[in-house]
Amino acid sequence: MKHNTIIAIFVAAISAFGAVAQNSSAEEVPAARLNIGANLGLRANFMRFSELDKKTYPDRNASLGSVIGIFGEYEFGKDLRYAIRPELDFTRRGGKICNIKSDLLNKGLYDYTYSAGITYFDVRIPVIYQFLGATSSFRPYIFAAPYLGFASAGRFKVSGSDSNGTEASYKVNAASDNVARAHFSLAIGAGVKYYFPLMNYSKAYVGFEMSYDHGLTDTYSGAEKNGKAAINNSLFGKYVINGSRKFSGLEFRFTFGIPINTWGQQRRSPVPVLVEEEPARTNAADRVTDAFAGTNCCTLDDIIDMMARGESVEGKTICSIDDINFDFNSSDIREESFGYLDKLASTLIRMNAQVEVKGHTDSTGPDDVNMRISRQRAKAVMDYLIDQGVNPNKISYSFYGATRPLVSNETIEGRRINRRVEVEIFK
């Protein structure tokens, strides 16, 4: 397979992932996220020979090589805990076996060293599980990744001394007659990401991971197996391979990723959580009244007064600001809010109208997190009201994150007002 064909397949896969991420409904909480990035690292290479393992136990030394690559990462599932990360990598495989004490092909070579270093163009697809959700700055993870590598360049080298102490060596460039063109292996590993704000955009991350990949296929070529790989020199002549040679390695990588399906959004807080300041209580009633100007928002007391006067409350919305409070970054309702909710439930029971609980947040934090927490809080309020006797057939809930602010989110006061729960009244 040509390298440009592989690149085309990779680009098409990333485009498909991007389309899925961009088309995710706002009600899918949390939304999928697409990252692009690069990695750079170091690889310790090892070789395994079936014939040598049976006959002798030579010293095996690792040979070092670099790893460099690009990737597209698609995060999905609850709290973005799962990810698929297709990669294109360039790396060097091979290894070194020293102090081999045997007669090689009756040529009298003794105490010799065999080394290989082949540059591979890899397609790697790690499947990742992240232990912490999207609200965490540090996200440890584990992964498994199949590799499909294509040999592109490199060389083999044999050196040693014969029975008379004469030094001898042989080098050959990697070609189709002495190395299999494709190589398949499987890697397992673990790593950690750290998310941070990048300029005026959504969060980027840096990470570190280490993995071990185990070569699953023989790297000898078909020509070596059937004796057609002619190496014409005084040391070897023609040869036939009966065993197998497999490459494995231990890798250490640094990664850097940028989310592109949120590129261009206003920068959020350094930690992707909702930062909720304690609301200021002084003159709260006056500020709430100002926020309600020009809207259908009313306080619960306003609705109770209208009902007492026999006025219709259809189309009105009870906007609860400072009255329904939750634990930080949670949907757990604070005990101080129970009295207000009990009063609201009693009013809804007497009203016997169709109502909808609506959850809203301020703009602090990523959109997917805001959407998730607004959903959880709206549902928590609805469940509490049902527990207090509100007809479950007369109540539903919806959620909007930070998409429907009452006032500007530029100030602490504005964000306090926009963090609210509403109850819209229908017929």
Alpha helices in 23-156 (DSSP H): 50-55
* 254 belongs to a structural domain: yes
Report the C-alpha gap between 344 and 336 in whole angstroms: 14
* 270 belongs to a structural domain: no
Give φ, ψ of 65 to 5 degrees. -150, 165
Give the CATH number for residue 421: 3.30.1330.60
344 neighbors 326 (Cβ within 8 angstroms): no
Q: Provide the pLDDT for residue 64.
A: 87
Residues 144 and 252 in one domain: yes
Q: Is the peptide bond before 140 cis (omega within 30 degrees of 0)?
A: no
Compute how many other C-beta atoms are within 10 angstroms of the C-beta atom of residue 394: 17
Residues 39 and 169 in one domain: yes
For residue 336, the 8-state DSSP code is G
Q: Provide the pLDDT for residue 321.
A: 82
Compute how many other C-beta atoms are within 10 angstroms of the C-beta atom of residue 175: 15
Residues 22 and 167 in one domain: yes
Residues 155 and 68 in one domain: yes
pLDDT means over runs of 10, the chain (427 residues): 48 45 35 85 88 60 88 87 94 81 52 81 94 84 94 78 62 70 93 78 83 91 70 51 85 91 41 42 50 74 89 88 83 89 92 91 85 91 92 92 87 85 88
Q: Provide the pLDDT for residue 221.
A: 80
* 279 belongs to a structural domain: no
* 248 belongs to a structural domain: yes
Report the C-alpha gap between 401 and 286 in whole angstroms: 25
Residues 117 and 199 in one domain: yes
Q: Provide the pLDDT for residue 282.
A: 44
Residues 244 and 289 in one domain: no
Domain tally for the chain? 2
| Residue 3, both tokens | 């390298």
Tokens 């102490």, located at residue: 165
Give the CATH number for residue 176: 2.40.160.20
Compute how many other C-beta atoms are within 10 angstroms of the C-beta atom of residue 391: 14
Q: Which residues 6+ apart lie within 8 Å of 335 measured at CB?
A: none
Compute how many other C-beta atoms are within 10 angstroms of the C-beta atom of residue 244: 16
* 40 belongs to a structural domain: yes
User: In this structure, are strands 201-215 and 182-198 parallel, antiparallel, or unpaired?
Assistant: antiparallel
Report the C-alpha gap between 326 and 307 in whole angstroms: 29
pTM over 0.85? The answer is: no
- Residue 247 structural domain: 3-259
H/E stretch holding 305: helix 300-308
Residues 110 and 175 in one domain: yes
Q: Provide the pLDDT for residue 47.
A: 85
